[in-house]
Amino acid sequence: MRDHSAESRLFNRRSLVAILGTFALICVLLGNLYYLQFEQHETYTTRSNDNRIKVLPIAPPRGLVYDRNGVLLAENRPNFSLEIIPENVDDLDQMIAELSELLALSENDVERFQQNRKHTRRFKPVVLKSQLTEQQVAMFSVQQHKFHGASIDASLIRFYPYGDSLTHLLGYVARINAKDLERLEKENKLAEYDATRTIGKQGIERYYEEILHGSVGYQEVEVNNRGRIIRTMKIVPPIPGKDLYLNVDIRLQLEAQRLLAGRRGSAVLLDAKTSGVLAMVSSPSYDPNLFVNGISSKNYNKLLNSTDRPLINRATKGVYPPASTVKPQLAVMGLELGKITVEQRMWDPGWFQIPNTKRRFRDWKRWGHGWVDVYKAIEQSVDTYFYKLAYETGIDEMHAYMSKFGFGKYTGIDIHEESRANMPSREWKRARYRQPWWQGDTISVGIGQGYWTTTPIQLAQATNILVNKGKIITPRILKSVGDANSHIGLPPQIQAPIALNSDKNWQVALDGMYGVINKSNGTARKAFEDTTYVAAGKSGTAQVVGIAEDAEYDAESLKEQHRDNAMFVAYAPFEKPEIVASVVVENAGGGSSNAAPVIRELFDSYFETKETF
């Protein structure tokens, strides 16, 4: 017999449990809906928008660079690049192969892409091909639907209209590499370069990177499920970098480059009043535009392996014995220390000998100069006079005094590529060679040879200190910083001056330099004949290799790289100096016959165009 009453009660109990369970589940569902819709509304709305809205950085236009007369030296030109975001590509190798066939890409393009991809995050675009032609842009645009993850980017790239004429001064920009990223990350500046692909590498471009770069902008865009932009919702424009106006005059720069064409050397021209760099040439040079989009291995190896070393900025990193160009400064030292006087004369037989030794240090004129005073010693570059001065002064006082003129120190010029060269001392030789300092070392230093080395910018600076009678102004390439509306001039950076016991000693050295060019026996009188201005200067012929005591110097018998360097420093006009120059021509021979004519032509160009400065 079935108990219908018991079955009914069991059914009712089960139904109640089912109803309660269902109600509980509905309550959980409703509670979760409330949590999602109300408690977590903002969170999930933001996540949704992140999938729908993207913030894209916009690179700021780089500041332009002008010369002192407003001539454009570094500009920005439109560029179209093919970019790929690796994360959005299913088969990257297949896509690159198809794009290579479509756009005729080179092996270098592909190789450079693969190298850059290693140093770039997968979600960031990597350039496959830059500087696309209009035809290539059109061909890709037609087939773009086949290449998900690839796109054309329009941007501005740096261009240097004067090519190799200003390379070592302006420097160049190049692609940001792993080392740059590491440095930017340490400096907390990585976000500032989100959309920027190049950065200053050398010269002015590197030194004033923060001024030239500007501030990044951004745009908010809505994208579909394939990542394509549907519409732009908001734009915050970038702030362009500020423009730079240099002290450089491009006419003087081009003239200096022309005069040094085909030769290894350097020329530096400074404004005597402000130490502004009017021209700075290192020869040979190279085209900086090669580096902007990534130089090929072939072209880079050609520059790197060249025996002429075009990558070196000879004006600031080339080190040479100063030779006789520093005799005016040595004369000031001798007068100040009381080692020589204006009235004092010495007999020059053509050689100098340290007491109780056998070796003779020869003068360039083998039969000597006869009776010599300080004026004649500078005017005719009498080695014997300065041998004796060095011997009586000693290396300790020479090192201390010549360091005041900036030898062995950075000049502080506004580029990073600079050498201190070497103003030798006892301590330096012991540390470098583990040897004591000998008296013979001092004698060589007395004529700017031996262990003493300098750079062309140091020579120009030391000459300018002499011209300004002890006033020291740091050399500057940059004249002012500006924007579209105005630009602000930078005041000269003045350092503590060199104070003398008698200011007349400055004029003694300057009068000696006047005689070099304007007296009948001056070593550079022929180079400056018939000028419309009065100049003063000092020649130097620096030995590259030693010559035996009794041997004759024969340039023809030596390898070219072993021949003497020609050097010359000068300023003009003599009474009220406006321009100072130093020139080095490597392995050319005598300074008066090979370097002085270069300065003569540069001075001629300066005074011919002076009214437009």
pLDDT digits (tens, 9 = 90+) for 523-582: 999 999 999 999 999 999 988 744 444 444 344 444 556 678 999 999 999 999 999 999
Band of residue 228 on the pLDDT scale cut at 50, 70, 90? low
Could you read off the pLDDT of 332-354 as tens digits, one per residue? 999 999 999 999 999 999 999 99
The CATH number of domain 250-305+314-612 is 3.90.550.50: no
Q: Which helix (H) or strand (E) holds 548?
A: none
The structural domains of the chain, with segments of one domain joined by +, span 54-246, 250-305+314-612
Q: Give catalytic status of residue 593 as yes or no.
A: no
- Give the Cβ contact number of residue 83 at 10 Å: 19
* Least confident segment among 75-84, 90-99, 481-490, 530-539: 481-490
Computed over every residue of the chain, the mean pLDDT equals 88
Q: Which of 354-358, 414-418, 539-543 has the highest mean pLDDT?
A: 414-418
On the question of pLDDT at 430 being above 70, the answer is yes
Residue 547 has what pLDDT? 42
Higher-scoring residue by pLDDT: 320, 488: 320
Average pLDDT over every residue of 174-179: 88
Who contacts 88 (Cβ-Cβ below 8 Å, separation ≥6)?
A: 148, 149, 227
Give the number of residues written for the chain: 613
Comparing 81-85, 242-246, 344-348, 594-598, the range with the smallest average pLDDT is 81-85
Tell me which of 324, 381, 425, 605 is the catalytic residue.
Answer: 324
Confidence at residue 226, expressed as pLDDT on a 0 to 100 scale: 57
Q: What is the pLDDT of residue 194?
A: 84
* Pair of tokens at residue 84: 């790929």
Per-residue three-class SS string for 113-154: HHHHHHCCCCCCCEEEECCCCHHHHHHHHHHHHHCCCEEEEE
Mean pLDDT of 114-136: 79
The tens digit of pLDDT for each residue in 445-469 reads 999 999 999 999 999 999 999 999 9
The CATH architecture one would assign to domain 54-246 is Alpha-Beta Complex (3.90)
Question: Mean of the pLDDT values across residues 65-71?
Answer: 94
The reported pLDDT for the residue numbered 135 is 87
Question: Which of 77-86, 139-148, 546-555 has the weakest average pLDDT?
Answer: 546-555
- Cis omega before residue 284 (within 30°)? yes
Under a CB-based contact definition with an 8 Å cutoff, are residues 402 and 423 in contact? yes
371 contact partners, CB below 8 Å, separation of at least 6: 345, 346, 347, 348
Q: Cα separation of 52 and 194, whole Å?
A: 21
Query: What integer pLDDT is reported at residue 552 of this predicted model?
Result: 43
Rounded Cα–Cα distance for residues 268 and 598 (Å): 11
Closest alpha carbon to 313 in 283, 291, 287? 283
- Angle at CA 516, nearest 5°, toward 511 and 518? 80
Task: Indicate whether 14 pLDDT > 90.
Answer: no
Distance CA 288, CA 120 (A): 25
* Whether the predicted pLDDT of 223 surpasses 80: no
